[in-house]
Chains A and B, each alone.
Chain A
Amino acid sequence: MKSTGRGPIRKYLYFNTIYLTYTRSMWRQNETMFDKEKIREIGKQRERWENTTLPNWISQFPERQKEFRNHSGMLIKRVYTPEDVEEMNYMRDLGFPGEYPFTRGLHATMYRGRLWTMRMFAGYGTAEDTNRRFKYLLSEGETGLSTAFDYPTIMGYDSDHSMAKGEVGVCGVAISSLQDMEVLFDGIPLDKVTTSMTINGPASILLAMYIAVGDKQGVRREKLGGTTQNDNLKEFFAQKLCIFPPEPSLKLSTDIIEYCARHLPKWNPISISGYHIREAGATALQELAFTLYDGIAYIESTLKRGLKVDEFAPRLSFFFASHNDFFEEIAKFRAARRLWARIMKERFHAKNPRSMWMRMHVQTSGCTLTAQQPLNNIVRTTIQALAAVLGGTQSLHTNSFDEALCLPTEEAVRVALRTQQIIACESGVTNTVDPLAGSYYVEALTNEMEEKAMEYIQKIDDVGGVIAAIEKGFFQREIANSAYRYQCEIEEKKRIIVGLNEYTIDEKCPIELLRIDPKVEEEQVARLQKLKRERDNRKVKEALEKLHYAAQKDENLMPTIIEAVKAYATLGEITDVLRKVYGEYKELILI
């Protein structure tokens, strides 16, 4: 009997583990890679080794630790052999690059064809400042822009709001209205670049502004390419830049996915993000499981809009961190790709292979950078970037060595970019696809990552789905516990961080820091207030009323938001309308 794969649907989502397990055991009946007899022989030899060579050696040279574990807490064996992957079925578990289940990579030739996109996150000061940085990056040959917004913009406040004091243009560029967006992309043809925008709560407003700039430039909407992060779910437990409560936040994310599927075919409407989950303290395993769980929630939510899975799934993208444990990270990336492909095929019955593609952007891990001996961060970033490349990423951001101290200076950014270029051009790792496949260790770890992620997913199901888990503080608690454990390990020296708790020196901060001129805030506020005086305020009022009405009616808000930004209604004004309708999120405080 074949399982139907349609168990009881829980309120928000139901992850059908049973079906996946069933299918895997069915596959198990097929040929595995290794001859059973030979595996038994290897097992005998291992036992012999464990009773002779090993104890002889250990008695003279004991191991450095009683046990070895990765960040996810998985016990790492002394040595891996074919026994550890005896169940492996090549075609089922690995296959060929560019084919299901995509463990070995999304593309047939991977980096032999095209290198990953080197996309460096940039944004500071006024729109003019960042426009200059963008043009500099473009003149250096970059075609992908990546925008960092300042905190007021991210939180839906205009630059002249009382909460914005001291924050305007400090951690990113300040964008309060279409006027700022026009300056930001002045002289940059939107049909020639792709733009990634790290924005969540107000993502629809920023996307609307981008569309409006495109309209003004005469660029057709089907030509606009780029990404909005737009992953509101992870905000509640990871990045914590939430404006609205969970339900309307999911609705707004879904609006963008639906709108893009219908009107912006080249736009990635969402970047389902594990990065922030990891940076908040989660382990690699938690990052993987929680991110996939969010992904499932977005698919379920979009299906309810009447779209078919193959109409929108190919444009979903993912974003992961690359931390310090080299093989753990590589296994995570490979397991993520395989698990997502299986979920899409088996749970959501996707037909288009592109719906099964987990396209990913990776950023090296900011929280691993130390303020002490900051040049060491270049080495950390190199190892992390190499893991991302060996894990088969599509796009990569490498952090700059000074980021534990300030926003990166131009010199630090250049070294970070050069790190990627050295891996790409000099290391030789790009010459073949998925070079670590078949390593007993990497494959065993990839399998373990996938299996344990499935267990976690089941656990979240038992809590009642993603929104219930957020409201009960499940994710928050899990992540805070991991973060605290990590810190304790550092303080007890169970985990050595070079330059921090070992190999330390007395030092004065040796590097030059980037500072934002306080004049930025004055200039930005002056421009905004001038706009508010000079625009057609009757038109603004009408547009905002229309938006208020649409929000109450539960319509897709993208069209009315586009109208509002074109009338030069500001980001803060639009967000305020939505705050009135949806209310504001009140943080669940726990330590």
Chain B
Amino acid sequence: MQKKIRVLIAKPGLDSHDRGAKVVARALRDAGMEVIYTGLRQTPEQIVEAALQEDVDVIGLSILSGAHKTLFPKIMQLLKEKGLTDILVFAGGIIPEEDVPELKKIGIKEIFGPGTPTEKIIQCIQDYCSKRA
């Protein structure tokens, strides 16, 4: 039997807009993935620790507070330090297009803006995991 894809949906930053994170979490679960949701206001350390403990294949970061340029590099740095570089990291929320190249450069695979169909996120994860396997 094929192992289920394990996904951590994490909310860094102080904002509390969890509607999108929860909808994505549920859609991934309905698509047959194992989903762990961290809850709100997680520090980069807490997120990376959870990823390690839960042995996830994928991390989805959701942020709408505008602090992504401070918090995402920190998370990516910590993942590197822990040797977790094979985890697929994607992000969503209110992230201006002009910030996207910079975020991709530090290793975030995809940025899904407002209005993205969940189907597209599922596809992206499945493609990545099948290539890796």
Interface of A with B (CB < 8 Å)? 151-152, 154-155, 157, 163-167, 170-171, 239-241, 279-281, 367, 370-372, 404-407, 480, 483-484, 487, 490-491, 497, 500-501, 508-509, 513, 515-516, 587, 589, 591
- Asked if B32 is at the interface (CB within 8 A of a chain A CB), the reply is no
Shortest beta-carbon distance from B21 to chain A in Å:
8
Would you call A166 and B19 a contact (CB within 8 A)?
Answer: no
Q: Within B84-110, which residues are at the interface with A (CB < 8 Å)?
A: 94, 96-98
| 14 A–B contacts, CB within 8 A, in A order | A151-B14, A151-B65, A163-B14, A166-B13, A166-B67, A280-B19, A371-B114, A371-B115, A406-B94, A484-B22, A497-B115, A500-B115, A501-B117, A508-B97
C-alpha spacing A66/B98, complex, angstroms: 44
Return the contact of B118 from the options A163, A170, A491, A497 (Cβ within 8 A). A491
- Structural contact, A166 and B115, CB atoms closer than 8 A: no
B40 near A167: Cβ-Cβ < 8 Å: no
Interface segment among B23-31, B51-59, B123-131: the answer is: B23-31
Chain B residues within an 8 Å CB radius of A163: 14, 41, 43
Residues in A with CB closer than 8 Å to B16 are 239-241
A166:B35 contact, CB within 8 angstroms: no
Binding site for A on B (CB under 8 A): 9, 13-16, 18-19, 22-23, 25-27, 29, 35, 37-41, 43, 65-67, 69-71, 94, 96-98, 113-115, 117-119
B15 and A370 form a contact (CB under 8 A): no
From known contacts A165-B70, A480-B22, A591-B25, infer whether A151 and B15 are also in contact, taking CB-CB under 8 Å: yes
Which chain A residues border B15 with CB–CB below 8 Å?
A: 151, 171
Is A591 within 8 A of B35, CB to CB? yes
Whether B65 lies near A171 (C-beta < 8 A) is: yes
Measured between C-beta atoms, what is the minimum distance from B99 to chain A in Å? 10
Can you list the 6 inter-chain pairs with the closest CB atoms, starting with the nearest? A166-B70, A151-B14, A166-B67, A240-B16, A170-B66, A371-B114
Q: Which residues of A contact B43 (CB under 8 A)?
A: 163
Are A491 and B67 in touch, CB under 8 angstroms?
A: no
Q: Name the prevailing secondary structure of the A interface residues.
A: loop
Q: Across the interface, do A406 and B115 meet the contact criterion of CB distance under 8 Å? A: no
Tell me whether A166 and B117 are in contact in the complex, defined as CB-CB below 8 angstroms, given that A152-B14, A404-B94, A508-B97 are known contacts.
no
Give the distance in Å from the alpha carbon of A275 to the alpha carbon of B3 in the complex. 42
Known contacts A404-B94, A591-B22, A591-B26; A170/B65 CB under 8 A: yes
Q: How far is the CA of A177 from the CA of B69 in the complex (A)?
A: 27
Write out the residue numbers on chain A whose beta carbons fall within 8 Å of the beta carbon of B71.
165-166
Q: Contacts A152-B14, A589-B39: A171 and B66 contacting too (C-beta < 8 A)?
A: yes
Would B14 and A167 count as touching, CB distance under 8 A? yes
Select from chain A the residue with minimum beta-carbon distance to B119: A491
Query: With A487-B27, A491-B119 given, is the CB distance from A165 to B67 under 8 Å?
Result: yes
By the criterion CB–CB under 8 Å, are B19 and A367 in contact? yes
Contacting pair B67 A170 (CB below 8 A): yes
A167 to B70, CA, bound (A): 9
Chain B residues positioned under 8 Å from A239 (CB to CB): 16
**Distance of A514 from chain B, by nearest CB (Å):** 10
Cα separation A490 to B103 with both chains bound (whole Å)? 28
A513 contacts which chain B residues (CB < 8 A)?
96, 98
